[in-house]
Amino acid sequence: MKKHILPAIKLTVVMILFFAVLYPLVVWGIAQSAPNSGKGEIIEHNGKKHYANIGQSFSEDRYFWSRPSAVDYNAGGSGGSNKGASNEEYLAEVQVRIDTFLVHNPEVKKSQIPVDLVTASGSGLDPDFSVQAAKVQIKRIAKIRNIDEAKLNQLIEEHIEKPLWGLFGPEKINVLKLNIALDELK
């Protein structure tokens, strides 16, 4: 028994030193070389600071609506709803989102609504949405802001982020950056 306990204690001490001290220091050191020292991308607009890599709530008709959040955009409580796709409560919540979207966008058909405008992401803090999610909102924003639809379409095209190395993931748009650019349109 003594033969096994001593190596187990040594291994435990080594693992504690590695995973509780050395590894966090290495990750922290790498983060310090990242932009903004690993604190995320901060955008200042109208005297307020916003994190571009955390979802923001946009629900006014004059803006591109953001993706719904299961945690009400609270970065301290990241998480999904944990409700399955067949859960009646979840389906009712999604239906309310669809109905709300259709009321504010009467020219859009239910089949044209992208799924990312009515369902929350796994983290509940997704700052991006699909290109289609932006384009389906053009008519509403053009009408409210009295901006040409072609100009809004061009704005969307300018804000498309391509997949990593052109392979991994879909094209996406950061909602915060798009709405800030929308505010700056003259």
- pLDDT for the residue 26: 93
- pLDDT for the residue 151: 95
- pLDDT for the residue 19: 95
Q: Which helix (H) or strand (E) holds 50?
A: strand 48-51
Residue stretches of the chain with pLDDT short of 50: none
- pLDDT for the residue 102: 95
- pLDDT for the residue 136: 96
On whether the CB atoms of residues 148 and 156 are closer than 8 A, the answer is no
- pLDDT for the residue 164: 83
Q: What is the reported pTM?
A: 0.77
Summarize the chain as % helix, strand, coil (round to 5). 50, 10, 40
CA–CA separation, 131 and 30 (whole Å): 32
- pLDDT for the residue 2: 76
- pLDDT for the residue 3: 83
Which of 173, 134, 151 has the alpha carbon at shortest distance from 52? Answer: 173
Q: What is the pLDDT of residues 136-183, one digit of tens each?
A: 999 999 999 999 999 999 999 999 999 888 788 889 999 999 999 999
